[in-house]
Structure 1
Amino acid sequence: MTTSVLITTYNRPDTLIKVLEALCRQTRPADEIIVADDGSGQETLDMIRGFEKGFRQTIEHVRQKDKGFRAARIRNKAIKRSTGEYIILLDGDCIPSGCFVQDHLALAERKTFLQGKRILVGKEISDSFTYADTKTTVKLIRHALRGELSNSHHLIRLPWFPALCNRKQSGIRSCNMSFFREDIFAVNGFNEDFTGWGREDSELAVRFYRHGLQRKSHPFMAICFHLWHEANSTDQLRVNDAILESCTRSKEYFCKNGLEKLDHESHE
């Protein structure tokens, strides 16, 4: 099964390069890597071009103008560009573990989407933390004992441990999520009514559930390391909460402002 990894980023070439390096060192490489760029400057473009030359890895770069936080829209643009049968979402400050793509594919199951887990990397070590650190057991244990890694129980990889399926709304995070291509198109992708940080992934989950999917998760597989950063602005959160609430009350799973209308939009 072919797979596309979509990485959302905005003006963080310093962390994006760490994510790209990790994706190039996977036990099962992705068939396609797409950077979904929410309006970054020239530095990000230069980094991607340099990375392609250094690693001999083709990176698709999908970009839109910088008009504020529009993660839903840029993810939709990247989904439209992708070709994989299975799509993995990753944020540009989340370093995937070495078995990340392999695990997502192993856990892929019809009528489910996968919610991956994350280990939070503390502020003290985030700048220096790289993919190499994720492969060094002694370092990881030391960081965990010092309190520099949160959710460190996810460090253990136990493929035999059973996955869980439910329809909970808590803990939905698109920084580490995957689904079948046909399912994201069936619900018309992310709802672009969401601007500003928050809730676009929770609303997608509601529509996935309504379409008949369950959320699948595994505490010891498909892990990423989320690097510390300043909290995003929550100025739009009240508006986004209202959109989510409206979706929760609705019986529809196909959003009106999603993938479909992108065919009729100008490129921004």
Structure 2
Amino acid sequence: MNEKISVVVCVYNRFEYVRNILKSLIEQTADIHEVIFADDGSKTDLQEAIKDLIPLCKFKVKIVWQEDIGFRLAKSRNNAVKFSEGDYIIFMDQDIIFDKDFISKIIKHKKRGNVVYTKALWTDSKQRDEIQKIFDIDYNYKRIYSIIESEQHIKALKSIKKARLYSLLYKFHLRKRGGKFAGLFISLYKDDLLKINGFDEKYIGFGYEDDDLANRLFKSGINTIPVDFEFFPIHMAHPSSPSEAESPNEKYYRDRKKEIFKGDYRCKYGLDNPLGEDKPILKLEYIGEKDEKKN
């Protein structure tokens, strides 16, 4: 059976980065079923910003928008999952780019009961500008990667090696958690996410929602598969949001962590019980070239 792959891209403004990631996804060698943009209430129209790229997509493209009433990353991700058709879901932030074989390699590692993830190399503003100049002219990832310093690549490899050790220790019950991962890029089977009721929507405002997800997945029995690359994904630098100065979620996170490690790994407000009265809006559903041919 061919399993469907859904890619969920978290979005809030900064559409120049959304264009970058959509270009990266268009170039992928993997068979992607759909790309869903989980829009946390962007002020301007995302569909307008990417309208020239949409006809180039061989996969479905969806935009799932929610009202902007605070930083609600967890809820926006859950919204996307509800509209997803895939068996396997790849979550990523809007501000990364990657090589054409990136998704293909991730899919090769997918395994039920595991989160597959990797590291992204963080750039400074100078590197970002140099990379963007190349990216605007030609999607040549090897050339783009030449901007990255070797120390950045080596650091990522060391981090993956450490994560593999943690995953092994967790497997043999010598650690409470496997390798550390963040929402910048993670992937897993939808069934494994449903088991913990998705992302906890009580995380409103910046911070801790990814650590909470990891705690709940690990307590449910999920392990991790850290993946290394010849060319890692690259995070395009940008100014920090004012909301990132401090997190209002720390106390809730600490309290929930105690409950989670006692066995309560399903969140109350998640996929089956959304928090708040507002409903997500499906602003776009573009059927890609492959699906048009089937109909």
User: Separation in 2 of the partners of 1:132 and 1:119?
Assistant: 22
| Residues 243 and 172 of structure 1: CA distance in aligned 2, closer, same or farther (over 3 Å) | farther
2:48 is aligned to: 46
| Residues 53 and 206 of structure 1: CA distance in aligned 2, closer, same or farther (over 3 Å) | same
TM-score (norm 2): 0.78
| Contact 1:7/1:92 (8 A) holds in 2 | yes
Q: 1:116 aligns with which of 111, 115, 118?
A: 118
Q: What secondary structure is seen at the aligned counterpart in 2 of 1:179?
A: strand
Quote the offset at 1:114 in angstroms: 1.5
1:210 is aligned to: 219
Quote the offset at 1:99 in angstroms: 1.5
Greater gyration radius: 2
| Contact 1:169/1:202 (8 A) holds in 2 | no
User: Separation in 1 of the partners of 2:235 and 2:138?
Assistant: 13
Are positions 1:260 and 2:272 aligned together?
Answer: yes
Deviations 1:113-171 (A, max 9, x none): 12221111221132452387773435523x234xxx87323899xxxx9x923554774
- Specify the code of the residue in structure 2 equivalent to 1:193: K
Aligned residues, how many? 259
Are positions 1:34 and 2:13 aligned together?
Answer: no
1:234 is aligned to: 244
TM-score (norm 1): 0.85
RMSD: 2.9
Deviations 1:228-263 (A, max 9, x none): 0112323551x3222221222112111001111139
| Contact 1:120/1:227 (8 A) holds in 2 | yes
Identical-pair percentage: 26
Deviations 1:162-190 (A, max 9, x none): x9235547742111100100011110000
User: Structure 2, unaligned stretches of length 5 or more?
Assistant: 171-176, 281-295
| Contact 1:195/1:236 (8 A) holds in 2 | no
User: Separation in 2 of the partners of 1:67 and 1:266?
Assistant: 10
| Residues 132 and 219 of structure 1: CA distance in aligned 2, closer, same or farther (over 3 Å) | farther
1:187 is aligned to: 196
| Contact 1:103/1:222 (8 A) holds in 2 | no
User: Separation in 2 of the partners of 1:53 and 1:203?
Assistant: 38
Are positions 1:225 and 2:227 aligned together?
Answer: no
User: Separation in 2 of the partners of 1:120 and 1:246?
Assistant: 31
